[in-house]
Amino acid sequence: MKLYNFPALLQLAKARNYKALGSFNLHCLEMLPAYFRAAQRADSPLMIQISTGTAEYLGYQLLVDAVSSLAASEQIPTCLHLDHCSDPRAIRTAIDAGFSSVMYDGSHLNIDENIANTRLVIEMARPRGVSVEAELGAIGGAEDGKMVAAEDISFTTVADAKRFVDETGVDMLAVSVGTVHGLYTGKAQIQHQRLMEITAATATPLVLHGGTGVSDDDMRRAVSGGIDKVNVGTEMNVQWVGRCKETFEKGKVSDSVRKFLIPANEAVTNVLTEKMNLFR
Ligand code: 13P
């Protein structure tokens, strides 16, 4: 089955009464069946995103082949998205391998450079039917080993967001409105008013990063306030590693490794199903 790009998958999700798409980081290949099982349980289209670290670890082509094969056998409309990538060569590798969506992350650059580079990535991706996400403002926390400290967080302004989407025509824009990547030490402080103002000023789908640890209420409010894609990453890692710690600890080295991994995958399926149902 051909993989969907983001706008096509969003359209399909909306036709099935989803208000937004969850986009879920895959941390290792062993977890992959759990994502499809959750999509089946929730009767949801599926968006899987891959950090560049995971793509380098597993191989771009292996990921495309494995995800396409499961999408076909399970009959789940699926988008495979490269998460946070600031290297255009890695983006090209992903597109050539068959990823259906990519994120160019130029959030560390000034807005002029971010716009110029995003346009180059769009020129590369759009003729291949691949959607492009960009990011404006700096989201705090650690993502794929890169840390943005609290003092370096910068929130997306309405004027910059409008200029950015007008000048790039990007398919979706990640905004910095108070969430952080990774585990929260307190409650997420989402700036719902800022988000609504950005939504009113732009017609482009908006992305909320740092979905782990955001309360269900905040998540629903953010979606009502204009978010179309919600990234959740750390949560699945926490579930999987947490269960593995228990099962590996209790088991014997001669036990089939499946015995250790099946409960971990069940935990991931459960959390993914919950999140998918939240966006309905
Ligand atoms: P969390 O790991 O905080 O859920 O964030 C994921 C993310 O935004 C990936 O881009």
Tokens for 100, please give them.
């259906």
DSSP reduced 3-state for 16: coil
Residue among 82, 143, 272, 278 to mutate when testing ligand 1 (max atoms within 8 A of CB)? 143
User: For the purposes of burial, counting CB atoms within 10 Å of the CB of 47, is it exposed (0-12), middle (13-18) or buried (19 or more)?
Assistant: buried
- Cα(30) to ligand 1 centroid in Å equals 20
Residues with C-beta less than 6 Å from any ligand 1 atom? 25, 83-84, 143, 181-182, 209-212, 231-235
Atom of ligand 1 nearest to the CA of 179: 3
- Catalytic positions: 83
Average pLDDT over every residue of 143-157: 83
17-26, 110-119, 136-145, 243-252: which range is least confident on average?
136-145
The average confidence (pLDDT) of the chain is 96
- Cα(25) to ligand 1 centroid in Å equals 7
- Cα(134) to ligand 1 centroid in Å equals 15
State the Cα–Cα distance between residues 189 and 174, nearest whole angstrom.
17
Predicted confidence at residue 147, as pLDDT, reads 80
Structural domains present in the chain: 6-278 (3.20.20.70)
Average pLDDT over every residue of 205-219: 96
| Residue 43 near residue 67 (C-beta atoms within 8 A) | no
Average pLDDT over every residue of 217-244: 97
